[in-house]
Amino acid sequence: MTEIDAGAIRGITPPMTTPFTEAGAIDEAAFRAETRFLLDAGVHGLAVGGSSGEGHALSTDEVCRLTEIAVEEADGKVPVIAGIIVDSTQQAIERGSAAAAAGAAALQVTPVHYLFRPDDSHMKEHFRELTEAVAAPVVIYNVVPWTYLSPELLVEIMTDVPGVVGVKQSAGDLKLLADLLATAPEGVRIMSAVDALMYPSFTLGAHGAIAAILTAAPTATVELWNAVAAGDHASALDLHGRLLALWNAMVGDNLPSAVKAALDHQGVTGGLPRRPMAAASGAQRQAIGQALRGLPH
């Protein structure tokens, strides 16, 4: 496995959407425009093929193509993380190897999650086999409710499996994020995906975030990150309140579509979701547009 400075995984790392055409193909021109929009906002990294990117609905070839485009557009300015959402060790190795060959600096990997949950020892071995076989470091994407990994298990994996360099902690529970930050081994990266609570995540010491709200409002979340880093908590708290209003307008079962609607409002073509996900409703679009008017962009 190649070595990477885990510190490169940091700050505002938006999980990009994947714009689709009416025919269900990736709209590469729209994806390039989204990449440039996020880079122009000053983000610190890019993530492709995650939940916001409908990675569960992408083929390996599509994940690789998105990775190649993002790497090309980033041109070395920021690292690109590729999402791996699959259900076996063999699948994870196959897709992870392809994404690494396409230029991914790291992989964001969900635990296997189709119906049958491996016990803790087999879950740990899954990540060990993956990192021994793939030449890219792994960030565990802890998100699936019925295969959710406890802080204790995550710390054990990060301690015993050198290729696992961090965790993206999701599911809206700030206490679990705090527990993980308090117990994680030195040198790993704990990234928040508690979208509603970016401000407290950063003040608790999260090393950054990979969360849908960042893609919907990159300029505002970069400003929030910088405000916390500068100790300007008055400005950070003000931004938190306005970002919370946006999140409340977005959150739902078609969250990727809501993020695409936010991009549309900012002059970036979000494209369609991949069927059968529903596009953002008129009411969603109106609420998102109203919330965005209160944010810098």
Over range 4-18, report the average pLDDT.
Answer: 91
Q: State the catalytic residues.
A: 141, 168
Of the CA atoms within 13 Å of residue 92, those in its CB half-sphere come to 28
Identify the residue with better confidence: 172 or 195: 195
98 closest CA partner among 122, 70, 120, 65: 65
- Domain range annotation of the chain: 8-232
pLDDT tens figures, 227-244: 999 999 999 999 999 999
pLDDT for 297 equals 82
Q: Which two tokens stand for residue 252?
A: 């739902």
Query: Which segments of the chain does DSSP mark as H helices, in order?
Result: 28-40, 60-74, 89-101, 120-133, 151-160, 174-183, 198-204, 212-216, 218-229, 233-250, 255-265, 282-292
The pLDDT of residue 4 is 58
How far from 15 is each of 38, 55, 132, CA to CA, in Å?
Answer: 10, 10, 26
Both tokens of 167, joined, read: 């965790």
Work out the end-to-end distance of the chain between its first and last CA atoms, rounded to an integer number of angstroms.
39
Q: Give the lowest-confidence range in 82-86, 143-147, 217-221, 225-229.
A: 143-147
* Count of C-beta atoms within a 10 Å radius of residue 115: 8
Average pLDDT, the chain: 96
User: The sheet that has 138-142: what strands, in order across it?
Assistant: 11-12, 208-209, 189-192, 164-169, 138-142, 106-109, 80-84, 46-48
In this predicted structure, the answer to whether residue 49 has a pLDDT above a threshold of 50 is: yes
Length in residues, the chain: 297
R_g over Cα of the chain: 18
Tell me if residue 264 falls in helix, strand or coil: helix
Q: What percentage of the chain reaches a pLDDT higher than 90?
A: 96
pTM of the shown model: 0.96
Residue with token string 């970002």: 243
* Greatest C-alpha distance within the chain: 49
Q: What percent of the chain has pLDDT over 70?
A: 99
User: Prior bond to 79 cis, omega within 30?
Assistant: no
Q: Rounded to an integer, what distance in angstroms lies between the CA atom of residue 25 and that of residue 28?
A: 9
**In terms of CATH architecture, what is 8-232?**
Alpha-Beta Barrel (3.20)
